[in-house]
Amino acid sequence: MTDAPKTDEFEINDYIRLDQMPHFLCPGCGHGIALRALLWAIHELGIDKDKLAVVSGIGCSGRLSAYIDANTFHTTHGRPLAYATGLALARPDLHVIVITGDGDSLAIGGNHLIHACRRNLNLTTMMLNNEIYGMTGGQVSPTTSAERYTTTTPAGNTEPVFDACALAIAAGAGFVGREVTMQVTGLKNLLRDAIAHDGFSFVEVLSDCTEIYGRKNDLGNSPEMILSQKAQMRPEAYRNTVDVPFRPNALKTGILARNARPEYGSAYRAMTAGIREKGK
């Protein structure tokens, strides 16, 4: 499935539902930056809005689909990948993109993510990781950093952090990448490559929740939180200017894995076509 790349300048108002404005996101939330990068990537790929389907779950990330002027589905908690799987199989002519959060996709939706990676169906998942259940009260999530305070960890989080990209790679995802919202152009390029990949692609976006997570943990305002996230990627460059623990095994960004595996939808359709042919 190919589209004609666009060369005209990206204008976000061409891709959003203006009647849904003003948006509900808190001041400083990184999710808006991620949405802009996603729509910018869609624009550069020349994807027709009638051929774009965006599926989202529950949470701050789940609300983003409501702002996109395309075919959009706001589904139940943890299940956007289940809905997207059926949609991608039934309508292979569509570009199916899932927008989800760290709680939505790694907690209640964890099994759906694992099997989406395993199947390698042609769809793209953008997971917004702000380390918290921001919309539903500020509870601990599978990606909440150690010792951080949430409404359900008043003494600090003692659970280890879930590495979503490592999980996706181990489960067999065809394309896996990670980026921070500070690097908007890099995030756009990563999402563009992910959408263009033939098979299941998973992109983790490190976002910031200033009002719930940042305020509770005294992490500063949005620019300070974003700079701290960047420090997690390159601690050697920031350890003297940002209050962040030095991590010799820092998280990596960019494309982390890319492999050519049979795409599930094509293989399934070929198999069923063969069965129908034998039954004649």
Put simply, whether the predicted model's pTM sits higher than 0.95 gets the answer no
Tell me whether residue 7 is in a domain. no
Tell me whether residue 2 is in a domain. no
Tell me whether residue 220 is in a domain. yes
CA distance 126 to 81: 11
Tokens describing residue 249: 């095994």
Tell me whether residue 225 is in a domain. yes
Tell me whether residue 155 is in a domain. yes
pLDDT in tens, the chain (280 residues): 556 667 689 999 999 999 988 998 998 899 999 999 999 999 999 999 999 999 999 999 998 999 999 999 999 988 999 999 999 999 999 999 999 999 999 999 999 999 999 999 999 999 999 999 988 889 999 999 889 999 999 999 999 888 999 999 999 999 999 999 989 999 999 999 999 999 999 999 999 999 999 999 998 888 888 888 766 664 444 344 444 444 444 678 899 999 989 999 999 888 888 777 776 6
Confidence at residue 236, expressed as pLDDT on a 0 to 100 scale: 45
CATH of the domain at 248: 3.40.50.970
Tell me whether residue 3 is in a domain. no
Tell me whether residue 162 is in a domain. yes
Beta strands 254-258 and 175-180, pairing class: antiparallel
- The number of beta carbons lying within 10 Å of the beta carbon of residue 73 is 16
Q: Say how many domains are in the chain.
A: 1
Tell me whether residue 6 is in a domain. no
Confidence at residue 153, expressed as pLDDT on a 0 to 100 scale: 95
Residues spanned by the domain of 69 = 12-279
